């Protein structure tokens, strides 16, 4: 990709703050900027995927009667750390 301006870099970084919501907002604000559009779409897709996986882990924890609560806490904590690392990597 070509070098992006400071404004484009800021808009691309803002797309990841509350993904996928801010991804959609940045996509609508700068539809002609390829750099912002790329990061906006990536934030939208990543936000949806992370949400679905988090929900599945929560449902798995709820489905296991006795140790489900412990599983949900451990899996949720580990998944949160993974989400933060992915978020930092994308920025």
Q: What is the pLDDT of residue 2?
A: 55
Each residue's pLDDT tens digit, 40-50: 999 999 899 98
Inter-CA distances, 22 with 15, 41, 42, 60, 88, Å: 5, 10, 11, 29, 16
CA 59 to the chain's CA centroid: 20
pLDDT digits (tens, 9 = 90+) for 52-84: 988 887 787 777 777 777 877 788 888 888 888
Mean pLDDT, the chain, whole residue set? 84
pLDDT at 27: 92
Per-residue pLDDT band for 24 (boundaries 50, 70, 90) equals: very high
State pTM to two decimals: 0.76
């Amino acid at each position: 990709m070509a070098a992006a301006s400071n404004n484009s870099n800021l808009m691309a970084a803002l797309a990841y703050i509350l993904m996928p919501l801010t991804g959609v907002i940045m996509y609508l604000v700068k539809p002609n900027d390829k750099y912002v559009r790329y990061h906006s779409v990536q934030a939208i897709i990543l936000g949806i995927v992370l949400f679905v996986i988090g929900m599945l882990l929560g449902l798995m924890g709820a489905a296991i009667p006795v140790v489900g609560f412990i599983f949900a806490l451990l899996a949720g904590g580990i998944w949160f750390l993974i989400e933060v690392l992915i978020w930092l990597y994308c920025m």
